[in-house]
Amino acid sequence: MITGYVLSQAEKLGVPVPTIQLLDSLMSLIEWDRVQRLSSPVE
Amino acid sequence: MSRLRWAILGAGAVGCLWGTHLKRFAGVTPTLLLRRKGVDGQRIATPSPSWLFSHVDVKLETSEGDSWWSSLPAQYCDGQPGRDRFDVVLVTTKSYEAEQALSLARPMMAPGARVVLLTNGALAAHEALKRSHGDVSFLLGSTTHGSLRMAPLHVRHTGRGQTWFGSLASSSYFESLYHFEHSVDPPGAAPAQGNGHGRRPQEQQQPRSEQLEDAAVFASHLYTTDSPALGPPAVPSEWADVLGVLGASQLGAEWDPMMQRRLWIKLAVNCAINPSTALARVPNGTLQINAGLAVIHKVCEEVAAVMTSLGMPITSADLEREVFKVIPHLLSIYLSVLCVSCRSPRTRRKTTARCCKTCRMGVAPRPT
């Protein structure tokens, strides 16, 4: 994910990126939900 | 005509756009390398199994309103390698699929084969690929051409743009020159602060003699003229033949000596726009009139701090300008992730719970 790459670089450099961290968590949840929906049978 | 054997990994919108243009304008007939299964385990829709090691007809609707067909060789990337292996592989998959796809295709690549990464998230993909394919030379690309996959092997070129290519190896030389030419603080550089943001880049801490040495090294590698100040940068000899073919495709192929910086700015724009629009369930172009403004500001501030620490000084104001240049062009475009998961009660519940947990951890202020 896009935010994930920035997070990993920021972590290596010790630069705090709280907003991006929050967005990354939220996007992970949305992506998780998307995968669940794709793998669920259509009602 | 180029003697290089080309392959395109990924037959989506970008792959088909470049495949058809390479054949029609550059005199190269690339082979489409396809995966049998998508990332979610779904079988890729194909017209018929009989087209293995055969040709497929790709339909392209041009941005001018006409259309044409190109017949391109195609095969599965985990199939048997043919007699002739590929010299150049253009990767146009999703960035998170690139590593697995290239690993499958590796037996089909000739020794010394080069890879052109033309994926969204090229920086992340490059980092992952360098770990597993350290012996391969990578060229990174970024394009503003618009393309839309209408159906399997049917693509619409929705808007003409430009494409830039560069290698991360050459970026460091140009960054060195930039710091040398601008002495201490490049225009727009963030002032050094004590809180970790706007950290002074490593190159600026170097003695001036070392900066000069770096600049001289860069000049000897990348310029054919004696003075770097004269003319555009020359393409490194390693990539001249590849860029020549890409340039002939009529999709634009400029060499960008500061490719890393370009890709980071693109990353900043995507970071500022994509999550906010997905979470707010609004079209990308409407962010300006929504609460996304504050998020954009914070994201740009944080990406600018990371870029500055990486030796690519930039201010958050510069990044915000780039974001607001892009937003109007994205009006009414929804993210694919948003289209699938829109208005899911489960997503809303989990998102709210995770958000509250993150706020309790003190990672971010509680939204008001």
Interface with chain B: mutation pick from A7, A8, A9, A39, highest number of B CBs within 10 Å: A9
Cβ–Cβ of B347/A30 closer than 8 Å?
yes
Question: By C-alpha distance, which of B133, B137, B99, B85 is closest to B116?
Answer: B137
Question: By C-alpha distance, which of B169, B118, B124 is closest to B143?
Answer: B118
Residues of chain A with C-beta less than 8 angstroms from the C-beta of B127 = 5
| pLDDT above 60 (res B174) | no
The confidence score (pLDDT) of residue B283 equals: 59
Total structural domains within chain A: 1
In order, the DSSP letters of B314-356 are --HHHHHHHHHHHGGGGTTPPPHHHHHHTT-HHHHHHHHHHHH
| pLDDT above 50 (res B169) | yes
Identity of the residue in B309, B340, B363 whose CB atom sits nearest the CB atom of A34? B340
Q: Which domains does chain B have, with CATH numbers?
A: 6-161 (3.40.50.720), 169-232 (no CATH), 259-360 (1.10.1040.10)
In order, the DSSP letters of B198-251 are TPPPHHHHS-HHHHHHHHHHHHHHH-SSS-TTSSSPPPPHHHHHHHHHHHHTTS
> What is the rounded average pLDDT of the residues B316-345?
64
Output the pTM of the full model. Answer: 0.72
Average pLDDT, chain B: 74
Question: Confidence class of residue B232 from pLDDT cuts 50, 70 and 90?
Answer: low
A38 interfacial to chain B (CB closer than 8 Å): yes
For B303-313, how does the pLDDT look when each residue is reduced to its tens digit (9 = 90+)?
999 999 998 99
For the ranges A6-20, B98-112, B169-183, the lowest mean pLDDT is seen at B169-183
The confidence score (pLDDT) of residue B202 equals: 45
Reported ipTM: the value is: 0.87
| pLDDT above 70 (res B315) | yes
Contact, B47 vs B154, CB < 8 A?
no
| pLDDT above 90 (res B16) | yes
Structural domain range at position A33: 2-39
